[in-house]
Amino acid sequence: MQRRLFLQTAGASLTALLTRQRTALAAARLDRIGLELYAVRAAMRADPNRTLATIRAIGYTDVELLWQFKNFGQTPQQVRAALDREGLRAPSGHIAPEVIVDSEAWNRTIDAAKEVGHEFLIVPSLPSETQKSIDAWRRWADRFNVAGQTARSRGVWLAFHNEPDHMKPIGTPAQIPYDVFVSSLDPTAVRLQLDVGNMLVGGGDPMAYLARYRDRYVSFHLKDVVADRSKDTELGTGIFDFTKFLAAVHGVAGKPCFVEQESPVDEIASARKNFAFVRALSF
């Protein structure tokens, strides 16, 4: 009986050990964590180089630039030098939609993007004409397809970022603009960036859209929201399950993930807390 009990106990211990090892091997973490610079826009305007140094010291490896800040007052070459100096990379930048319809401006933008090291140029919103017209969304989809082909021919992707109002039905019959727009895009020319917080505020389900357009989402904004979905909040203090979401992203290690909190009380303090939350996630 003692021998049998010993073998049973040893077998159970071995099974538990193997289970823990398999669990540890299966768990994943984000090796690269980015920060959308809109989250620290006041700091960037005040002192961009010092802010980049602070971001890197926190632990962020990537940043997403805001093109409307004109590369925070510097040339693309200076921006690239500043990023390299801090050991940061900028896989993407947000740009105005008007840029893509002017061929000369678009090619200049692509030139600058390649200088900085962008893989993606991302449009976050469309002109006011799209607020009431589904046809306007379709026209912009056509423009994206043309501009996207140009970008692909030059080694860069054009992508689109979702805002809350993109989920609000318009027109007769009522249609969700984002759905119409994405269904009109050429997936070989245009990719998508999913902002989970904006999706939630707009009334959408990020998990459902990830399942629907899984391979077309190449980048993500990690943004939490309060219970009534009225605004964003620090990561981990809202309603979104980031562990479940990241576990569902196919090839997440190769897809840039940017922390973003749009209206923090203290930009740097919130950036630090949000980084710590993401760094601790395992999925």
User: Is 37 found in the same domain as 25?
Assistant: no
User: Is 115 found in the same domain as 12?
Assistant: no
**CA atoms of 62 and 32, how far apart (whole Å):** 7
User: Is 40 found in the same domain as 23?
Assistant: no
User: Is 103 found in the same domain as 5?
Assistant: no
How far apart, in Å, do the first and last CA atoms of the chain sit? 42
User: Is 232 found in the same domain as 142?
Assistant: yes
User: Is 144 found in the same domain as 18?
Assistant: no
User: Is 182 found in the same domain as 243?
Assistant: yes
User: Is 270 found in the same domain as 162?
Assistant: yes
Strand duo 232-233 + 224-225: pairing: antiparallel
User: Is 196 found in the same domain as 78?
Assistant: yes
User: Is 139 found in the same domain as 234?
Assistant: yes
Residue in the structure block whose two tokens are 């632990």:
59
Residues 217 and 255: beta-carbon distance below 8 Å: yes
**CA atoms of 264 and 197, how far apart (whole Å):** 14
The CA-based angle 114-56-251, given to 5 degrees, is 60
User: Is 18 found in the same domain as 85?
Assistant: no
* Total count of domains within the chain: 2
CA distances (Å), origin 87, targets 80, 90, 117: 10, 10, 13
Q: pTM of the predicted model, to two decimals?
A: 0.90
**CA atoms of 236 and 274, how far apart (whole Å):** 8
User: Is 110 found in the same domain as 10?
Assistant: no
Residue 48 domain boundaries: 31-280
The per-residue pLDDT string of the chain (283 residues; one tens digit each, 9 = 90 and over) reads 454 443 354 455 545 544 454 444 458 999 999 999 999 999 999 999 999 999 999 999 999 998 756 777 889 999 999 999 999 999 999 999 999 999 999 999 999 999 999 999 999 999 999 999 999 999 999 999 999 999 999 999 999 999 999 999 999 999 999 999 999 999 999 999 999 999 999 999 999 999 999 999 999 999 999 999 999 999 999 999 999 999 999 999 999 999 999 999 999 999 999 999 999 999 9
β-bridge mates for residue 92, sequence order: 64, 120
Checking 178-183 for CB contacts under 8 A at 24+ apart, the result is 178/204, 180/134, 180/137, 180/138, 180/141, 181/137, 181/138, 181/140, 181/141, 182/213, 182/216
CA distances (Å), origin 38, targets 43, 64, 66, 74, 115: 10, 8, 7, 17, 21
CATH of the domain at 121: 3.20.20.150
